[in-house]
Structure 1
Amino acid sequence: MGKKSRIKHRSTATVETAPDAVGPRQPCPCGSGRRYKACHGSGDSSSPYVARPFDGLAAESDLVALREFVPAATAPLRLREPHERSVQVCSLLPGAAPAMVRDDGSVWLGLQVQHGYGDPSRDLGAVLLEALEAEPGSLVSLTSPPGEGPRLEDLVVDEPLEITVHDGFDYWVADVEDPDGTMAGALAQANEAAAPTQRMTSAAAAYWTRMGEREYLRWVLPHPEDAVLDALARMHVLGDESLVEGDRLIGMFRAHGLVVPVWDLPRGTGPDAVDERLGAVAARLEELLADPSPLTSEERSARSGLASRQLTIR
């Protein structure tokens, strides 16, 4: 797989000084690209690391998906009073910009950005506030830790996102003239790099994608990791984990405190065939998540195997 590069302040947001899985010389989980010991593990970071920045939001899993691996998607956001502006969250903006104010005054808020200050929700809050004050036609950046202030959930209405997944990035310039074709050339290159992706309708935050000749399903689950591993282990032993004939649950990765299991699908499967079965798998998973009984020896073995298959690429 290739890598794609509530009104209520959450004073209880999960803050971790040193996640157990991160060594001092490993990359900081905030996404800065620096080693942990030189970033949020330095002991003097001005911005605390929040392990699950979108915790409690109805759109948590989809926000994680759009931030981590969905190439081209948009969704409207409703602002809390007293703000009255049209705001759209985008998986990616031109140049990985944090935000842009369109000529009509509407705000586009980017999720896939180059900065990482420990709490993406606080970063988004700071960028959104600045964008609301910026002039039309402006780009908004974030070049230093934002400090204290409202987080995303303090500024927007807490509700599920109405997501539109696009075939490419043409929506960037849908209302912009391009007389010399400059933007068209740049768009063609960006579109070529965007893996075809489709959001499933039968389960929340599940996305089919095709990368080259390979197809995958990535499913962002909002449940605690231990509970997910237990439930998936039970499903494996029962033979209930399959989405289509010939598929394989190849492992998982972690993103912003959530677990993302990944299925490798047979060539030519397509999104519709996956969607037909996914609803039943999701319902079965919910049943098993509620099972309080201890794992059997066979289930423990299956759990250990799944936990060891940690994917390091998106």
Structure 2
Amino acid sequence: MALNLQDIARIKTITKTDFLKSYFNPQKPVVIEDIIRNWPAYTKWNLDYMKAIAGDITIPLYDDRPVDFRDGFNEPHAKMKMSDYVDLLKKEPTKYRIFLWNAIKEIPQLRNDFMFPDFGLRLMKGIPMLFFGGRGSHTFMHYDIDLANIFHFHFEGTKQVILFDQKQSDYLYKIPHSLITREDIDFSNPDFKKWPILKKAKGYKTELKHGEVLYIPEGYWHYMRYNTPGFSMSLRAIARNPKNFGRALYNILIMRHYDHIMRRLKGRKWIDWKNEQAIVRTHKNNGITV
């Protein structure tokens, strides 16, 4: 048995008017296949190019280890020069990923390789973020702290993407006071005996290829697994829905700091309690008593 996932709609290109009408307003994901073919990045951006222009830069790396109470928010698990990291990606599978790297700040010439498409949303031009991963590496199922609208541009190779909207949160074993689900769920091959409520969740799936753009609506849960070494760039626009904007403010101003304080006060017990509550609350919300 597999997750209940439908294929994300695919189109070659789209106008601003049609994007707003067909995808932004109803908050539906879409893959746009050919919209960046006129970017220099479409032909230039690959791992060798990144190694050539950023090889001496030391970059932060993350893996799929469980959250530790001693970790700070988005604190890297390792650091490495970009040249060594690209060599590692090409040599063998690795769990190390680059996450939320504002490479344009350190490599201004990258800004000449892409444009900010006019989708009818005001994109935040100061924070184009890059994400890299090796074959088999993956993110936890999560949603972004600001519940932004995300345009995710993929380069080199392919990666698997699974999305759920916020209405599915009661079925995903969400960790309280957090933005992730249980870290021991393998969303590419879930164990329904261990996680039975996942069978109720309805989501979306696709496989992104070089040059394709995925629109991820506000607050969507997303899981990504690299089928091959590759990287992506995300451009963002703030949440327009007042409820989502309010939740974003709560996450940034209150939830994140509360979780940090509780980690310092209770340590491992806080992490264990949250993991347990993910199961208790999910089962309770779905009429299961343990």
Does the TM-score normalized on the shorter chain lie above 0.5?
A: no
**Rg comparison, structure with higher value:** 1
Structure (1 or 2) with the greater strand fraction: 2
TM-score, normalised with respect to structure 2: 0.29
TM-score, with structure 1 as normaliser: 0.27
